[in-house]
Structure 1
Amino acid sequence: MSLPAGHDTVVFGQHAITIEQVVALARRHARARLQDDAAFEQRIARGARFLDSLLTREGVIYGVTTGYGDSCVVAVPLEHVESLPQHLYTFHGCGLGRHFDEPTTRAVLAVRLQSLCQGVSGVRMALLERLCAFLEHDILPLIPEEGSVGASGDLTPLSYVAAALSGERVVRHEGQETDTADVHAKLGWTALTLRPKEALALMNGTAVMTGLACLAFDRAAYLLQLATRITAINVVGLQGNPAHFDETLFAAKPHPGMVQVAAWLRGDLADDGRTDEPTHRLQDRYSLRCAPHVLGVLGDSLPWLRQMIETEINSANDNPIIDGDAERILHGGHFYGGHIAFAMDSLKNLVANIADLLDRQLALLVDTRYNHGLPSNLSGAPADRAMINHGFKAVQIGASAWTAEALKNTMPASVFSRSTECHNQDKVSMGTIAARDAIRVLELTEQVAAATLLAGNQALWLRSQQVPTAVLPAALLPMHERLSQDFAPVIEDRALEPDLRRCLTHIREQAWSLYA
């Protein structure tokens, strides 16, 4: 189903697109359109035309007149060249694991389309138009998550895109899993017969890992702000020391991301009302006092992560490169996903440290030895029922488990290169595994954030019961009020899974506007 008019439009072509545009397409917040000026169309046509001219001259072109990978030394007679693309996506139809969800699949399609629009992959305008139509009509190939070593690109998962464009395998469309041929028939389309090089151009690239990287980047950027807001809530709930975020203090060590987090915390705690009162400790424990130093590392890493991801989005990353202007075939290795692998291995480390930080804050909140007068486990039960109520005890246990799993997944995937495919692919990036790991670490860290946010809000409610005249800092009040509307305080024990899941939905929908 096409999106209605009024949505933003992302134009695929020779101009760069951004992470945010890929994410907007993935969430169905934007429409896809192909650049349609004559110069762009002619550039695409020149590459395909040059490739066809080589076939008439019996030129030797990897993956067009030769076998694939280690089979590049095997010549393919011209009478079989037309059959080669279908064989490529067919024998790669061996992916396993769960299927990627709908937003991820849209991101993959968008990234592959933008790469092919660079005009050096030897594909026809008809292929670009059909790939764009898949996005516009939300036709989503069922792509298994597992089976890519990240060089030569994402061959096996992207074979499901090539097959779907050819009218084969299964897609999601209008909420149903449907044979691709039936969707083509419903729309009155004729499935593409992929030309020489077109299956290879679709499959021999980094679109899966890069699509995942776009979604991971977006979630991490929001998580940075959310973790800062949670920290501010917990500074108030634990009656911590706002002076730890002093502007002059941070001018002495001016890492920009760290300085930004400290500034956000100052803004949140600006009229805390306790800055002139003695605090419980001269120096708070590190999970509060050093929060800018932990969160700021992610803040300072986002710009170079963006550069790597957006360069990959807007690059030609298949092999060989078809230079239709100079009429050259350039054999290389742009399918290698090393930059995305490094970016995602780095991101999962950065994000897991946020899980650890928030888990430590939650540990302080529930423990009467450290929470400065809050009830054990943040239970709101009255005194005559306190002994049978346990508040957030199990939630904190769960957060410990989620944090441990997030930390376990920080092992770099890129160092686990395995020589494969008859030792042709003897050094590979594992970028797709790194990106999948990063998504998993984000899922777990968002769970820790949900638990710590609900616990922090409970702490604010408990403080208001202790001192009814206490006033929250103005910057925190709107979020506290909204949280209190959505999540009732825990007085008598209740199963908190529904609250946690609802909070997770808010986090993943980025429901709270945090910092400008």
Structure 2
Amino acid sequence: MSSVTVTPGRMILADWAAIWRGAGVTIDPAAKPDVDAAAQTVDDLIASGRAVYGLNTGFGKLAQTRIANEELATLQERLVLSHAAGVGDALPEPVVRLILALKMASLARGASGVRWTTIVAIQAMLDTGVLPVIPSQGSVGASGDLAPLAHMSAALIGAGEATYQGERLPAADALKKAGLEPVRLGPKEGLALLNGTQASTALALAGLFEVESGFQAALLSGALSVEAAKGSVAPFDPRIHQLRGHPGQIDVAQSLRDLLEGSGILASHENCDKIQDPYCLRCQPQVMGAVLDLLRQAGQVLEREANAVTDNPLVFTDTGEAISGGNFHAEPVAFAADQIAMAACEIGSICERRIALLTDPAVSGLPAFLTPNPGINSGFMIAHVTAAALVSENKQKAYPASVDSIPTSANQEDHVSMATHGAFRLLKMAENLHNVVAIETLSAVQGMEFHDGLTSSPRLEAVRGCLREAVPAYGDDRYFAPDIASARRLVTGRGLVAAAGELPGIA
């Protein structure tokens, strides 16, 4: 896979999506002069003898404690070790890669006061595949993601654990095997590495990209369900959606029209006596369009956050100052994560309603539970129950994390964002969503095959063909779980989307 050049302050969502999916990472060397200037400013401030938070003082509630110059390196190392207090399962390696790349991009803006060699050391870990083991729990999204980023930083200095070539090792051993040396932290560097929103932002970006995959696959499964239920294309008329004016709604309606264009199934019931379809078919542009607008808004927030400097204090080379602020507070990420969670919940919810429609002969006109011989066969009966269970689980997970706060650090950090909680749930919610969309796709394609050999549009036939290469049609009951797993892989891996061609997305 190609490499992404990290250009500080100018990265787009597509860059982060490529890194999430495995692209290499290279820091833009043009950033070095700004980084060097900020590091020199830190040295000058220390030489001046002035007390500056995080450079020659303690941290948080201990900011009034002055640290002697000869103990500054020890101060930074002990900060990392004391803050590496996370618990729980390790974050997935693609998320860890994103965290490292995001931290590199932030530090390279030249407002953190770290040395260029420290940024290069992070890139070396990415280049060689030495990935810190970062526990998933322990951040409230306040002074940034302190515990997760401490575990990241611990591996950089040879403490804690890391993975290398598929093996989990003490970080010092992993670095040695990869031919790397532990970093000896300079003044401010431990604090710059630990402060920031890179863990919550990485998790939110990963969730955004995976929910987008579910959204696009759900556009396909929704169009397939229209065909299976012999639904109407009239609700997708552009005049309807122009009158409301929401961009996402307009885009989704256009996409559904394009997907259904040229359908023989659609043409076969042009003069039927049905008046209106249920909302799960008819209101797809309104529901999925609102989802698309929400995902796009969250994407814009996360794109800005990924380009931001979020540690503390910040170094201003033009005036020689280091100013304490609160850019580490992850409220924007928390809100974006909550929006993505709501979107994931609603996509799955409308998909589940279409599965229910297709499996109910009183509504769909199809055989009960989509089996040609119901009674002796149960068909899709319990596949629908599985989808309902997953949708219900996502509803429980969708409660907003950003409305919670709990004071920490002896009330110094008295309002927190809970962004990491909000972002961490998204990958599980996306996995649930992908399974629901997979079940709808299986159901809709099965339903289409009761239409006496009629064919759909070229694009939807390509999607049907893609699915049928992985999952054969259903006759008598068979062991069902592997079929759902195969369909889910086509959702997660974007195989169905590739078969269909261009679809609206977040960018």
TM-score by length of 2: 0.95
Q: Which runs of 4+ in 1 moved over 4 A?
A: none
**What's the secondary structure of 1:10's corresponding residue?**
strand
2:164 aligned residue (150, 162, 173) = 173
1:324: how far off?
Answer: 2.2
CA distance in 2, matches of 1:15, 1:426: 30
Residue pair 1:241, 1:279 contacting (<8 A) in 2 also: no
Task: Name the structure 2 match of 1:138.
Answer: 129
Task: Name the structure 1 match of 2:505.
Answer: none
> Which region of structure 1 is more displaced relative to structure 2, 298-307 or 405-414?
298-307
Any residues of structure 2 matched to 1:202-351 within 5 Å, and which? 202-273=193-264, 274-275=266-267, 277-279=270-272, 281-351=274-344
Amino acid at match of 2:368: S
> Which region of structure 1 is more displaced relative to structure 2, 104-113 or 500-509?
500-509
Structure 1 residues 27-71: Cα deviation after superposition (integer angstroms, max 9, x where no partner): 22x22112224xx32221111122122222222121222211111
> Which region of structure 1 is more displaced relative to structure 2, 154-163 or 90-99?
90-99
* Structure 1 unaligned residues grouped into runs of 5+: 1-6
* Structure 2 unaligned residues grouped into runs of 5+: 503-507
Structure 1 residues 436-478: Cα deviation after superposition (integer angstroms, max 9, x where no partner): 1222222211111111111111111233xxx13x222222111
Any residues of structure 2 matched to 1:180-195 within 5 Å, and which? 180-195=171-186
CA distance in 1, matches of 2:21, 2:457: 34
Task: Name the structure 1 match of 2:370.
Answer: 378
Amino acid at match of 1:423: N
**What's the secondary structure of 2:495's corresponding residue?**
coil
Amino acid at match of 1:379: T
Task: Name the structure 1 match of 2:427.
Answer: 439
Amino acid at match of 1:14: P
What is the count of residue pairs matched by the alignment?
A: 498
Residue pair 1:47, 1:325 contacting (<8 A) in 2 also: no
Indicate yes or no: 2:355 matched with 1:362.
Answer: yes
CA distance in 2, matches of 1:280, 1:323: 71
- Gap change, CA 1:54 and 1:438, over 3 Å in 2: same
Residue pair 2:248, 2:290 contacting (<8 A) in 1 also: yes
Structure 1 residues 221-250: Cα deviation after superposition (integer angstroms, max 9, x where no partner): 222221111111001101111111112222
Structure 1 residues 392-444: Cα deviation after superposition (integer angstroms, max 9, x where no partner): 11111111110001111111101111111101110011111111122222221
Amino acid at match of 1:453: T
CA distance in 1, matches of 2:297, 2:262: 35
1:196: how far off?
Answer: 1.7
Amino acid at match of 1:20: A
CA distance in 1, matches of 2:137, 2:486: 29
TM-score by length of 1: 0.93
Residue pair 1:239, 1:280 contacting (<8 A) in 2 also: no
> Which region of structure 1 is more displaced relative to structure 2, 293-302 or 141-150?
293-302
Structure 1 residues 470-508: Cα deviation after superposition (integer angstroms, max 9, x where no partner): 222222111111211210122121222111122222211
2:473 aligned residue (489, 497, 501) = 489
1:9 aligned residue (3, 11, 36) = 3
**What's the secondary structure of 1:145's corresponding residue?**
strand
Indicate yes or no: 2:16 matched with 1:22.
Answer: yes
**What's the secondary structure of 1:369's corresponding residue?**
helix
Residue pair 1:247, 1:262 contacting (<8 A) in 2 also: yes
Task: Name the structure 2 match of 1:498.
Answer: 482
1:281: how far off?
Answer: 2.6
**What's the secondary structure of 2:220's corresponding residue?**
helix
Indicate yes or no: 2:147 matched with 1:156.
Answer: yes
1:114: how far off?
Answer: 0.5
Indicate yes or no: 2:397 matched with 1:409.
Answer: yes
CA distance in 2, matches of 1:26, 1:268: 29
Task: Name the structure 1 match of 2:384.
Answer: 396
**What's the secondary structure of 1:196's corresponding residue?**
coil
**What's the secondary structure of 2:71's corresponding residue?**
helix
CA distance in 1, matches of 2:417, 2:393: 23
Task: Name the structure 2 match of 1:479.
Answer: 463
CA distance in 1, matches of 2:212, 2:273: 33
CA distance in 1, matches of 2:259, 2:272: 18
1:325: how far off?
Answer: 2.9
CA distance in 2, matches of 1:76, 1:214: 38
CA distance in 2, matches of 1:176, 1:185: 14
Residue pair 2:35, 2:115 contacting (<8 A) in 1 also: yes
Indicate yes or no: 2:444 matched with 1:452.
Answer: no
- Gap change, CA 1:427 and 1:279, over 3 Å in 2: farther
Amino acid at match of 1:19: L
CA distance in 2, matches of 1:456, 1:308: 35
Structure 1 residues 309-336: Cα deviation after superposition (integer angstroms, max 9, x where no partner): 1111111100000112320111100001
1:80: how far off?
Answer: 2.3
Structure 1 residues 192-245: Cα deviation after superposition (integer angstroms, max 9, x where no partner): 111121111111000011111221222222222211111110011011111111
Residue pair 1:239, 1:279 contacting (<8 A) in 2 also: no
**What's the secondary structure of 1:97's corresponding residue?**
strand
Residue pair 2:295, 2:343 contacting (<8 A) in 1 also: no
> Which region of structure 1 is more displaced relative to structure 2, 222-231 or 138-147?
222-231
Task: Name the structure 2 match of 1:110.
Answer: 101
Structure 1 residues 353-393: Cα deviation after superposition (integer angstroms, max 9, x where no partner): 11100000000011111111x11111134xxxx32210111
- Gap change, CA 1:43 and 1:277, over 3 Å in 2: closer
Percent identical among aligned pairs is: 31
Residue pair 2:9, 2:308 contacting (<8 A) in 1 also: no
**What's the secondary structure of 2:162's corresponding residue?**
strand
**What's the secondary structure of 2:458's corresponding residue?**
coil
Task: Name the structure 2 match of 1:4.
Answer: none
1:12: how far off?
Answer: 2.3
Task: Name the structure 1 match of 2:25.
Answer: 32
Amino acid at match of 2:63: C
**What's the secondary structure of 2:479's corresponding residue?**
coil
**What's the secondary structure of 1:135's corresponding residue?**
helix
